[in-house]
């Protein structure tokens, strides 16, 4: 058993019953090939919930500061995360993300770039659109819905993959693609809230 599998099993055993997590749309999650998994970000536990409920191993981009925290930094690395410098274009992180997708893995991303203080969906950054346009991955919108309160239901919702062919033909910008991804996440939130 890998470290990732072990950590996922332990976290699943704790989080699933504690937050009564309901998963919706898992059947639409692509079983193979690169997947860009884009979610809203309402709580510090979102990466754990998104990671443990996903049917495949997720590689997350995580803020660089996490990797400098004693103990946490080492754990985050072992959980397939890689650092991204926030607030500027981090070419190394972009390259790493593209490689994750081209190798047929799942790249987990919170397009807002930071946790929402209000719980409402914020504006997405162009990075999500960049990855969607630069690879042939499936783009899956997802949403974490609910309050993080013990024994209150929390939902993890997966939407159907967003078709990218027309956007690529139309030479859509990364910003336009991110806007579409965010609108799909918004629809999931409204539909399942």
Of 146, 172, 168, give the one whose Cα is nearest residue 157: 146
Domains in the chain and their CATH numbers? 3-192 (3.40.1130.10)
Extract the residue ranges of the chain whose pLDDT is less than 70. 1, 87-88
185 with 40: CB under 8 angstroms? yes
Q: If you count DSSP H runs as helices and E runs as strands, how many of each does the chain have, helices first?
A: 7, 7
Instruction: Return the C-alpha torsion angle 152, 156, 159, 165, nearest 10.
Output: 150
User: Cα separations (Å) of 58 from 25, 32, 47, 81, 106?
Assistant: 17, 12, 9, 8, 5
pLDDT at site 62: 85
Of 138, 144, 134, give the one whose Cα is nearest residue 181: 138
Q: DSSP 3-state assignment of 189? A: helix
pLDDT at site 87: 67
Alpha helices of the chain — where are they, by DSSP H? 3-18, 46-53, 72-78, 91-102, 127-134, 165-169, 174-192
Instruction: Return the C-alpha torsion angle 183, 62, 31, 125, nearest 10.
Output: 20
């Amino acid at each position: 058993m890998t470290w990732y599998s072990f950590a996922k099993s332990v976290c699943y055993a704790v989080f699933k019953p504690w937050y009564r997590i309901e998963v919706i749309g898992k059947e639409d999650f692509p079983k193979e090939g690169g997947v860009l998994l884009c979610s809203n970000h309402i709580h510090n536990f979102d990466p754990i919930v998104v990671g443990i409920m996903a049917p495949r191993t997720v590689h997350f981009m995580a803020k660089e500061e996490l990797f400098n925290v004693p103990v946490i930094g080492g754990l985050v690395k072992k959980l397939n995360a890689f650092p991204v410098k926030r607030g500027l274009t981090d070419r190394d992180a972009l390259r790493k993300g593209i490689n994750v997708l081209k190798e047929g893995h799942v790249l987990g991303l919170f397009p807002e770039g930071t946790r929402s203080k209000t719980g409402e969906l914020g504006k997405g950054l162009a990075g999500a659109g960049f990855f969607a346009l630069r690879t042939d991955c499936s783009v899956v919108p997802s949403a974490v819905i609910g309050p993080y309160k013990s024994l209150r239901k929390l939902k993890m919702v997966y939407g159907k993959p967003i078709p990218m062919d027309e956007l690529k033909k139309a030479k859509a910008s990364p910003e336009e693609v991110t806007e579409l991804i965010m609108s799909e996440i918004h629809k999931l939130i409204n539909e399942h809230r």
